[in-house]
Structure 1
């Protein structure tokens, strides 16, 4: 692989991560919109769209293999290359969790048992985390990545508040059990999305500084 081709492949790798991040963010957004409106058609589109994100992960794996096997990356480039593979895995898992939310939406019967306020707020925070950490990735911005990771505390706090509320509803009224149980799964999926966003923050810090920080 020539040096020019090497640099082109690195650029393709970075761009693929950025595009995959946008697709994952869109999947999260649409899964919650589908949940709010009980829009089964939109939920189905989230499920079907997951294959595109899976294809990006495979493309990134191939790119990483080419860079490592055909050219000896510098220390800085090696951090980028290996971390991109890790980021791709986290992004793919986030999109899988968006699919899980869409699947939960399809299982809800009738109308929502309560107005959805806190769950969309959790999702907005998760989306914001992903959007900002991808910007940190583009700019090699350690400070931004570290600040984004702190938003996960807000998701965790909301998770426990909503969890207690839903459990209380199920205890007081057994007709809410089916729908409440699916919402319990949804908030767990959002909490895990926040954790994966934190993982991406850690990867960005490592790429930019060479330091491994536990931000989760």
Structure 2
């Protein structure tokens, strides 16, 4: 009886915390943008873009860790544009939502895993309306420490710099997220494997 009461009390406390912090619900807005050549400013068609939906999960006595709970991919079109629909799911009570992360890659260019030149998170920078892509605008964002961050400039633009030498091209190849294979990210794995093979690397990612 005492064990039952203790278990019931723990579950009540747990789910009251879940309700207070909405830990069970994970939601991200639509993401869109445009990939361009950093030098010519021309659109880049066929760049692969991966979005990682990150979460923090409790990890026992050693503390928690931030890991991807899901990943999606797409290719930029002839205008360099890309789009991810909104994403919603449920997460465990010992997890919390974290910012989405992105990978941008096109063979012959250096990969990008963080869009530089701004203070706001990538997921805020790319959560814009279709008609605002490439246009100048202003975004204000309050971070989790209640700091107000402001960005002014072109919206949704991701610049890729050319990789010239073989060494630069090798360093440019991004690694897949941990535990993700061609089953989850077929476009991404295919493109990085082909680039590796073209540069003389043996084998490839599964």
TM over 0.5: no
Which structure would you say has the larger Rg?
Answer: 2
TM-score (norm 1): 0.22
